[in-house]
Amino acid sequence: MAHRLNGETGTLLVVDDDEAVRKLEARILSQLGHKVLEAEDPMEAMRLAAATPTIHLLVTDFSMPGADGLQLTEHFRTVHPQTPVLMISGSLEAIDGRADHLDWFAVLAKPFTSEELVHNVRTLLSSVNQAVATTVLASPNQHACVHH
């Protein structure tokens, strides 16, 4: 189930094996008011995903030891199936065609500016909010489900 944000902030999971990049992304997103969880690899990311009931956005590097960002996305979506994903990569050709089947998915090329990161995050979060808001509920006690 997709979770609508209250206001403009939410819980984000940032995954990157490069500590400097991960810390920079986390700082930028924290300054926007988001709660940011950090993981240095896909295994740690999955531990956090399993332990965190609601994650509004996964921001992940593509190239990491152990599993690439697409493999992480597939595993992550078993726990949080409707959470949007922002994939960050310096090698877009490695992703080309491999993510076409994914909903709520965007790719940001390295190097990027903080403005580009913020724009992509806001766009993905907004798309989920709009989808949840337009879902018609069968009864007031039923949870909204987003179908694509």
In a domain, 147, yes or no: no
**CATH number of the domain enclosing 99:** 3.40.50.2300
Per the structure, the complete domain to which residue 85 belongs is given by 11-133
In a domain, 3, yes or no: no
The overall average pLDDT reported for the chain is 80
The CA-CA-CA angle for residues 115, 120, 124, to 5°, reads 150
pLDDT digits (tens, 9 = 90+) for 124-138: 998 776 655 444 333
β-partners of residue 106 are: 86
pLDDT digits (tens, 9 = 90+) for 41-86: 999 999 999 999 999 999 999 888 888 888 999 999 999 998 999 9
36: which DSSP letter? E
In a domain, 6, yes or no: no
Q: Spell 79-111 as b/e; 16+ CB within 10 A means b.
A: ebebbbbbbbbeeeeebeeebeeebbbbbbeee
**pLDDT tops 50 at residue 101:** yes
Number of structural domains, the chain? 1
In a domain, 143, yes or no: no
